[in-house]
Amino acid sequence: MSIYNLTAKASDGSEQSLSAYKGKVLLIVNTATGCGFTPQYEALQALYEKYHAQGFEVLDFPCNQFGNQAPGTDEEITSFCTLNYNTTFPRFAKVEVNGENEHPLFTYLKKEKGGIMGSKIKWNFTKFLVDKEGKVVSRFSPTTTPDAIESKIKALL
């Protein structure tokens, strides 16, 4: 099993294979538009702009499981992120990250890197760093800012 065997629905509704990201460093984040951590979108976009040409991708997975903080449609979420944070990195359709309906990508990520609550994701803006070979190398809590991850991203590039 590899991250590249998985697919996810893009925010436009199309099914996308994660194999499209082979050979890239990935930061996979479960996000929300109405969360105290939502301003992290700005720093995520800054990292994306700084390192995208070197093979870095931010993969945004909106999730409404924590405090109903991503209540909008996929279109509304994309509009909010574009208008408020000028995000240009790939955004996927809203997913669940815990429980019986969790997306297989998050089942895989949590199996590879557990957290403080075991395999469960605690809150919005949990981040997983994946190397160019598709190995999950680090998991970061919501309170870890994107800036604090920059040196690890640079090392993997």
The first and second tokens of residue 54, run together, are 């070197």
> What is the pTM for the complete model shown?
0.95
User: Band of the pLDDT at 1, cuts 50, 70, 90?
Assistant: confident
Q: Is 35 a catalytic residue?
A: yes
- Per residue in 50-108, pLDDT tens? 999 999 999 999 999 998 989 889 999 999 999 999 999 999 999 999 999 999 999 99
- Rounded CA-CA distance 54/118 in Å is 33
The CATH superfamily assigned to 3-156 is Glutaredoxin (3.40.30.10)
pLDDT for 118 equals 65
Say which of 18, 27, 29, 35 is annotated catalytic.
35
pLDDT digits over 5-45, tens only?
999 999 999 999 999 999 999 999 999 999 999 999 999 99
Residue 153 has pLDDT above 90, yes or no: yes
Domain ranges of the chain: 3-156
Q: What is the pLDDT of residue 113?
A: 82
Q: What whole-number distance in Å separates Cα of residue 76 and Cα of residue 79?
A: 5
